[in-house]
Structure 1
Amino acid sequence: MSNTSFSSLNLPDALISNLNDLGYNSMTDIQAQALPAILAGKDVIGQAKTGSGKTAAFGLGLLAKLDVKYFRVQTLVLCPTRELADQVAAELRKLARSIHNIKILTLCGGVPIGPQIGSLEHGAHIIVGTPGRVIDHLDKDRLRLDDLTTLVLDEADRMLEMGFQADLDAVIAKAPAARQTLLFSATYPNAIAKLSERLLKDPLQVTVAEQHNTSSIQQQFFQVSDNHARLSALRALLLQYQGQSSMVFCNTKRETQDVADALLGYGFSVLALHGDMEQKDRDQTLVQFANGSACILVATDVAARGLDISSVDAVFNYQLAHDADTHTHRIGRTGRAGQSGIALSLFTAADAGKLIPLEDGLGIKIDAAELPAVDIATLKPAKPLMATLQLDGGKKHKIRAGDIVGALTASKQLTNDDLGKIQLHDIWSFVAVKRTAVKLALQLIQQGKIKGKSIRARAL
C-alpha cells in the first residue's frame, strides 16, 4: 500500500466522495504508479497479480473520462473467464455508484445469448466480457465499437494461454485506432511483449510485486513414489492441515475431477472446478466454496484464475506447477492480509526437471520433507460450518439481499448471525446459512413470501 491519497489525483469530486464512502483512502502501489498516466490518457502496461487493486486502477481511469450523457459503448474490458468478468463488472459498478444512469453490461459465454441481445439493443457505456462472446456479438453487428475510447485487456497472459489470440485480434480489428489501451498481466512472457508492441503506443510500463508477502507462507515439499502414493499423501496432508478452507491444484481437468471424486469417497467436503463443467455448475461451486459451504476446492490453474475468493487456510499442489510464476500465484491464495499460510507440494522423481526452475524462480532450496504420520482412523475430515440455499428468484424479480434476510429473520427463529454470504444473480439467488439451521431456513423460505411472491428454494 502506498501513502498517496486518491484526492491527490485529478478525479471528479463524485468519484472521490464515493471512494471515501467505500473506505478507499490510500492507493495501492499499482494504482499510485498507473493512475496518473491512465488519467493523462497514456497507454499503460501493468504487471500485477490478482488482488493488487488493478481493477480500481483502470476502473477509475475509464470512469473519470466517461461521458454518461453519450449513450454509446465507450469502454471495453476483456477478461479470460466469466468469473473474472463478473468480478470486474461488480467492482466497476461499486466504483460508479455516484454516476447516475451509467450502464455496465457483461457479455460472456456459458450463459444464454438472448438476454444479452436484448440488453445490447438498449445500449451500454461499458462492456465487460470474454473474447469469444464479444466477437460473436461484433460479428453479428449487435455490438459496435465505433465510439470506443478505452480498451482494457485484463489478465492478458491468461487469455493467450487459453487460446484467445485470434479472438483478441478480431476484436482489436474492429476497435478504433485512436483509443487508449491498458494491458494488465500477472506475468510478462514473450507473447505478451509482442502483443504489447502491436497494440500499445509509447506505453508506460508499471511492475508491482505481489501484494502478499510469501515469507508469511510456510512451504513444504514432499516426494512420493507414484500417483497412487500421491493421492494417499494428499489425504494425509489434508487430514493434518486442511482447516476450514483449502485449495488443491491439479494440472489437468481430468485429474481435477478424479482427485475431487477420490477425496469425496474418503469423506472430505470437496468440490471440483475445471473447464469441462457446465457454467451453472461452476457458478454453484464457486458460491459454495466462497461462502464456507465446502472445505476444499480442487481446481486447475485456468479455472482458479481471478476468482473472488479471500485467503484460504492452506494450498496443496497435487502436482507441481509448470513454472515459478504459476506456483507463486497458486500459493498466493493463502497467507494474505498479514495472516500466516501453508503451501504443501507433492512431486515424484519424474518432476526433477521442474524443481530447478522452481528453485531459481522462487529463490529457495527445495528439500523433500517427511510426510506426517497420520492416524486415518482417528483424524476425520473437517466439516463445513455453512450450507447453501438456492432460491428461484433474483435481480430480474427485483429481489434484494435485504428481502432475503427479512424472509429468514422475520419470525425471529433465525438471526443475522445464522446467515452468511448472499449472492444475487439474474434469475436466482444463493444464501449461506449455518449448517445447523439449514432445514429451518429452507422451511421459512418455502412457507413464506419474498416481495409478496412464493419462492422455491432448495439446499445444494
Structure 2
Amino acid sequence: MSAFSDFPLPIPLAEAVASLGFDTPTPVQAASLGALLDGRDVSARARTGSGKTVAFGLGLLARVDAGAGGVQALVLCPTRELADQVGKEIRRIGRQLPNLKVSVFCGGVPLRPHLASLVHPPQVVVGTPGRIQELIDEGALKLDGLRVAVLDEADRMLDMGFADDIAGILGQAPGSRQTLLFSATLPEAVRELGARYQRDPAWIEVADPDGEAIEQRFYEVESPRKTDAVALLLGDLAPEAALVFCNTRRDVQQLCDDLQQRGFAALALHGDLDQRERDEVLVQFANGSCRVLVGTDVAARGLDIAGLPLVLSHGLASDVDIHTHRIGRTGRAGLAGLALALVSGDERRRVIAIEDALGKAVRWERIDLSRRPARPAPPAMQTLVIDAGRQDKLRPGDVVGALTGAGGLDATAIGKIAGFPTRTYVAIARSQVQKAMDRLRTGKIKGRNFRIRKLG
C-alpha cells in the first residue's frame, strides 16, 4: 500500500499533506499522482467523493510558482457549488505555499467585482466555463502563462452544453500546458474530449472503492402514487438528510410542495431559483435545517454533503451515467449509503441498462401504499440570517462570541456558520432559536447592531 511520502511532492506540499493528517492516498490519488507530478496529461475516472480534488490539486500546485505572477493553473467545473468546493480544497492543501492566491469565478453574480479582482491576477483560477469565457472576452483573464488546465466532472460539463466554452477557453492557453480530465464516468464524448485536448494522456480507471457501501433498492410504483411512496419511504427510514431527484423542474416543485403539506421539512432546488435563493436552500440543507432536498440533476451538480445517508429517485434517470452520479451522492468515503429508485411501467426499460452496467440484477422491493406514512420529525436545527457578511468584516468567530457570552448559549447549540459577502447564516438548535435571536437583537456583534431574522 502506497503512502503520500512515496511521491516526490515539493516540501511545502508534503508538509501541508502531513499537517492535514493525510497518510494513505485513496486509490485514485495513488494511481494518478505519479503521472501528475511527472507533468503528464491524465484522464481519470473517479466517482464523486473518491479524493480526486486532492489528487489534481496536489498535481497543479506542484507546478505553480507562488512567487511568480499571472494565472498558472485553471480548473473548470460545471457548477458554482463544485467550483466553490474545489477552490476551498486547493486553498487548504496549498496553505503552506507563501503568496499563493486562489480565486473562484462563477456566473450568477455581477461581473464587475471579478473584473476588478483580476487587476492583480491569482496563480490559480477555479470557475464555471461561462464566466471564465466572459472574463477572457473582456480581456481581464489572460491564459498565456497557463501551465495546468483541469476539466473537473467533464461528463457533466458536456451534458450541460459547455463544449463550445471549453474549446474557446483552451484555445487561449498554451499548447504546452498539462491538461487533466477527471470524470465520474467516461462515455465516448469524454474520451473524444481527451483526444482533442490532451497529448498521450495516462488513462486511469479506478475500481469503485465504495461501491459496495451503497445499497440500491428499486420499487415499481406508477406515477400517480409516487408522491405517496416517497412520503412512506422517508417516514419509515427517517433519515437525517435525504436528496430526492426528479427529472423536471415542475416535478421538483410539485413534489416539494406535497411533502411540505405532509409535514416534511423539504426544500426545492431547480433552475428557476435566483442565486440567493439557491444559496439559502443549500445552506439550510448542509447545516441540518432542512431534512429533504428535492432537485433536478442539473441543479444538484457539484452538491457535496458529507455523510448523506439517502438518495431517492422519484423518476428513474434517463441514462446510466446520470443514475451513477445520483447514487454517488451517498455512500461516500467508505460510509454506508442507501439509494432508492421508484420505477413506473414506462421506465422499466431503463433498469435493463442499469443492470448491464452493474453486471447483475437489481434488487426489487415491495411497498404497501395503503399505509399512512410515519409523522416526520422536525430538523434538529434552524437557520438565522444576519444581514452582514465578509464585506462588513463579520467572521464566524464574531458570531459565536456574540451568542456565547455571559448568560448566552452553550456552544453545542450552534451549528454551521456560512459567510457570504453581505449575509451570514448560522444554524441554531431548534430549541434555542428564540434565545439566540433575543441575544443577537439586544446585544451587539463587534459593537454593531445588525438585522436578524429566521430563514424559512
**Which runs of structure 2 are paired with 1:289-304 in the superposition (5 Å)?**
289-304=285-300
Shift of 1:354: 0.8
Contact 2:50 2:333 in 1 (8 A): no
Residue 206 of structure 2: aligned partner: 208
Distance 1:400 1:338 in 2: 33
Aligned residue for 1:382, secondary structure, equals coil
Distance 1:303 1:183 in 2: 22
Contact 2:415 2:428 in 1 (8 A): yes
Residue 302 of structure 2: aligned partner: 306
**Which runs of structure 2 are paired with 1:190-339 in the superposition (5 Å)?**
190-213=188-211, 215-225=212-222, 227-339=223-335
Q: Structure 2 stretches of 5 or more lacking a match?
A: none
Contact 1:249 1:298 in 2 (8 A): yes
User: For 1:292-318, what per-residue CA distance to the aligned partner results, in whole angstroms no more than 9, with x for missing partners?
Assistant: 001101111222222120122322110
Distance 1:252 1:56 in 2: 33
Distance 1:210 1:431, change over 3 A: farther
Question: What code does the residue aligned with 1:349 have?
Answer: G
Shift of 1:274: 1.6
Residue 27 of structure 2: aligned partner: 29
Question: What code does the residue aligned with 1:263 have?
Answer: L
Match of 1:113 among 108, 111, 114: 111
Shift of 1:375: 4.4
Contact 1:212 1:332 in 2 (8 A): no
82-91 or 27-36, which moves further after superposition? 27-36
Shift of 1:8: 1.9
Contact 1:153 1:183 in 2 (8 A): yes
User: For 1:12-46, what per-residue CA distance to the aligned partner results, in whole angstroms no more than 9, with x for missing partners?
Assistant: 22221221221111111111111111111110001
Distance 1:242 1:47, change over 3 A: same
Match of 1:423 among 388, 396, 418: 418
Aligned residue for 1:176, secondary structure, equals coil
Distance 1:91 1:301 in 2: 23
Question: What code does the residue aligned with 1:223 have?
Answer: E
Residue 356 of structure 2: aligned partner: 360
Match of 1:172 among 170, 173, 195: 170
Residue 459 of structure 1: aligned partner: 454
Contact 1:239 1:374 in 2 (8 A): no
The answer to whether structure 1 residue 410 and structure 2 residue 405 are counterparts is yes
Distance 1:166 1:276, change over 3 A: same
Distance 1:309 1:238, change over 3 A: same
Shift of 1:367: 5.8
Distance 2:33 2:154 in 1: 19
112-121 or 150-159, which moves further after superposition? 112-121
Distance 1:224 1:402 in 2: 49
The answer to whether structure 1 residue 102 and structure 2 residue 97 are counterparts is no
Contact 1:408 1:445 in 2 (8 A): yes
The answer to whether structure 1 residue 433 and structure 2 residue 428 are counterparts is yes
Residue 78 of structure 1: aligned partner: 76
Residue 381 of structure 2: aligned partner: 386
Residue 372 of structure 2: aligned partner: 376
Aligned length: 455
Contact 1:221 1:368 in 2 (8 A): yes
The answer to whether structure 1 residue 51 and structure 2 residue 41 are counterparts is no
Shift of 1:386: 0.4
What TM-score comes out, normalization by structure 2 length?
Answer: 0.96
Distance 1:177 1:382, change over 3 A: same
Distance 1:66 1:385, change over 3 A: same
Contact 2:216 2:362 in 1 (8 A): no
Shift of 1:212: 1.9
Distance 1:55 1:411 in 2: 42
User: For 1:51-106, what per-residue CA distance to the aligned partner results, in whole angstroms no more than 9, with x for missing partners?
Assistant: 11111111111112211121111111100000000000000111111112211111
Contact 2:229 2:369 in 1 (8 A): no
Distance 1:447 1:331, change over 3 A: same
